[in-house]
Amino acid sequence: MHCAILKAEPVDGAHLLQILWQDGTESFYPAVWLRDNCQCSDCYLDSAKARKLLLEALDVNISIKELLFDRKKVYITWPSEHYSEFEANWLKKRCFSQQARARFQGELFLPECQYWGSEFQLPTLNFEDVLKDDEHAYKWLSSLKKVGIVRLTGAAEKQGEVTKLGKRIGFLYLTFYGHTWQVQDKIDANNVAYTTGKLSFHTDYPALHHPPGVQLLHCIKQTVTGGDSEIVDGFNVCQKLKEKNPQAFQILTSTFVDFTDIGVDYCDFSVQSKHKIIELDDKGQVIRINFNNATRDTVFDVPIEKVQPFYAALKEFVDLMNSKEYKYTFKMNPGDVITFDNWRLLHGRRSYEAGTEISRHLEGAYADWDVVMSRLRILRQKVKNGN
């Protein structure tokens, strides 16, 4: 963003800075915000990109004492004689207009979301390319954020490949099941995934108050018959539920449901949480789905008259997920790694037959969305700069 200042002056009793830009637009900046964000070495630690100025030292009613400007900068002297400089590009990017704020938030959080149904074409990249090449890694994470799932092919048919992906983004998300975990038929399984039975659509780990954001699943061995994977775009299904049955949507976005997980793995654990099945932000947009029928607790902390309507709403939501219009079915091959948004997608598995030997083996891991988004921002900057 390259912009030039045509005019800058204090207004509103010097409590606001008004800037007229060369492109014909204008911006206003509160004096208190400008003083709070002074970029001088006394107020800002550039090596940490962090504010040094203490809020205790800030005069919230401050005004601008003296203002100078040229095309590239604004120069402010404050009543205490403290001096601040602000670059034009820095200010323009932080304009308080609704349009400018929305643009910058889009750059920071990449909110673009492409919904899909049964016609879905699974984005696919090469595993080694993602590990070694920044452009491929950027495609991987940007598609993961936008579409919700990416398949990587060509991983070695052995344990440890998801750990490499964890290092590629930063680090994995440790849970009570370990840094990584093995999905295979186990005697006295401590999780329904460690059986050969059908797994209905679910998100992983709603028993945690902060469920893992991204799941990585690497196919090491695959059964000949059965064991197909099923996925559904939960955000798309939520939208359809809201259109079809607003009352059911309202119930699932307002009722807190108890989840539990008790057992022994990485260590012994006794986990409890409360979530709304469909979680909304302050604008009413779906930001996370919390649903695992296996770990939904027998405890249900609602008045008795709300129990049956809740079940009816949840059943309608699940029936929509399972309709042919929305779910996508595929089979993982040895060497495939699927990486997906555990807050958005619900996933399941068709049953398969148990044998005397292990016929199906996946290694799984989790990553936190904060870690994934951090790497995505860094990769985007590298690719953009041609590094």
Model confidence pLDDT, tens digit, residues 134-175: 999 999 999 999 999 999 999 999 999 999 999 999 999 999
Q: Given this model, what pLDDT does residue 387 score?
A: 67
CB 204 within 8 A of CB 211: yes
DSSP state of 270: E
Distance (Å) of CA 218 to CA 160, 190, 333: 9, 20, 9
How many angstroms separate the CA atoms of 110 and 115, rounded? Answer: 15
Q: Given this model, what pLDDT does residue 360 score?
A: 86
Residue with tokens 């119930």: 251
Q: Which residues lie below 8 Å from residue 121, measured CB to CB, with a gap of 6+?
A: none
CB 227 within 8 A of CB 360: yes
Output the CA angle 193-252-340, nearest 5 degrees: 40
DSSP assignment of 286-319, as one string? EEEE---TTTB-S---S-GGGHHHHHHHHHHHHH
pLDDT < 50: residue spans in the chain:
none
Q: Which residues lie below 8 Å from residue 163, measured CB to CB, with a gap of 6+?
A: 172, 179, 180, 365
Which amino acid appears at position 230 of this protein?
Answer: E
Long-range contacts at 21-25 (CB < 8 A, ≥ 24 apart): 21/92, 22/71, 25/95, 25/97
Q: Given this model, what pLDDT does residue 252 score?
A: 99
Question: pTM of the prediction?
Answer: 0.94
Q: Which of 298, 302, 311, 234 is nearest to 272 (CA)?
A: 298
How many angstroms separate the CA atoms of 328 and 336, rounded? Answer: 17
